[in-house]
């Protein structure tokens, strides 16, 4: 499905390139191994599509003020349509100030409070990439959402809250669960669509899955032996779910594809209004 989405973006990029290619700037602070892999995948996707990309790697001791200066400089550059500040940032940096400093129209991660507000109100705008990818997956596999009971386990600003809102906009009945939820497994067993995004390896077992449910496993947890596993026990998921996303190789590649989609859409807006 990732390849299908990227193939659909290619002619849009080629059309824009007659004036200038879309531009994405990725800011990577420090040497977090996971972040370095994510950024490498994003830069590669840009190159494959013909999107201009820049990777900016400030010293990991950079201050909040200096990083704000870098973001402001990117805000002012007309050839840069999207700005992505890779999380997590080093502890000395005020991450919230950095995220808020990105021009909302260049916020291809969909994390700016203005874009979150647009999501709440149902106003078009950049959507967080992982939730947007999940909705594309449900749409393209023709999995019904309207009228279905959806349970989201996890309440992060990056996945849990935005996917709950996107499902709600598609007329699902949505329950958000978290670490303080009473009778969590019972809540999960009610779900026609179960989204697991709590970051705990194999936390949900097969008996938490309603037979025939669709399970979206967003978890990417690396075990001591190097194996990557999701938030749902894979054997229980295979035994009970009618449809599910594997880990690795399920939601992750879609996240990169939706980042490319957000970048192309931003370039279209910018060049149309130029």
As annotated, the active-site residues are 42, 86, 109
What DSSP designation does 250 have?
S
Q: Cβ neighbours of residue 225 under 8 Å, at least 6 residues apart?
A: none
Residue pair 196/218 in contact by the 8 Å Cβ criterion: yes
Which among 42, 63, 64, 61 is positioned nearest to 53, based on CA atoms?
Answer: 42
Q: For the residues of 144-177, what is the DSSP string, one character each?
A: --TT-EEEEE---TTTHHHHHHHHHHTT-EEEEE
CA–CA gap between residue 233 and residue 231 (Å, rounded)? 7
Q: Cβ neighbours of residue 40 under 8 Å, at least 6 residues apart?
A: none
């Amino acid at each position: 499905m990732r390849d299908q989405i990227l193939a659909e973006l290619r002619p849009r990029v080629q059309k824009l390139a007659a004036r200038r290619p879309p531009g994405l700037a990725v800011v990577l602070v420090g040497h977090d191994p996971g972040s370095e892999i994510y950024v490498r995948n994003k830069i590669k996707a840009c190159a494959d599509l013909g999107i201009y990309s820049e990777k900016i790697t400030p010293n990991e001791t950079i201050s909040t003020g200096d990083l704000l200066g870098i973001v402001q400089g990117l805000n002012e550059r007309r050839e840069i349509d999207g700005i992505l500040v890779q999380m997590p940032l080093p502890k000395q940096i005020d991450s919230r100030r950095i995220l808020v400093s990105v021009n909302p129209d260049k916020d291809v991660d969909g994390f700016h409070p203005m874009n979150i507000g647009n999501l709440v109100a149902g106003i078009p705008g950049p959507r967080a990439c992982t939730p947007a990818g999940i909705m594309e997956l449900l749409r393209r596999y023709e999995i019904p959402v309207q009228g279905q009971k959806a349970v989201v386990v996890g309440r992060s600003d990056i996945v849990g809250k935005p996917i709950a809102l996107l499902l709600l906009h598609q007329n699902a009945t949505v329950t958000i669960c978290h670490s303080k939820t009473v009778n969590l497994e019972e809540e999960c067993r009610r779900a026609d669509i179960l989204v697991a995004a709590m970051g705990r390896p194999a936390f949900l077992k097969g008996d938490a899955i309603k037979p025939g449910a669709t399970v979206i496993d967003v978890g990417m947890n690396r075990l001591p032996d190097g194996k990557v596993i999701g938030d749902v026990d894979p054997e229980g998921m295979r035994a009970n779910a009618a449809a599910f996303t594997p880990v690795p190789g399920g939601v992750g590649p879609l996240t990169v594809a939706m980042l490319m989609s957000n970048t192309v859409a931003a370039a279209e807006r910018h060049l149309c209004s130029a």
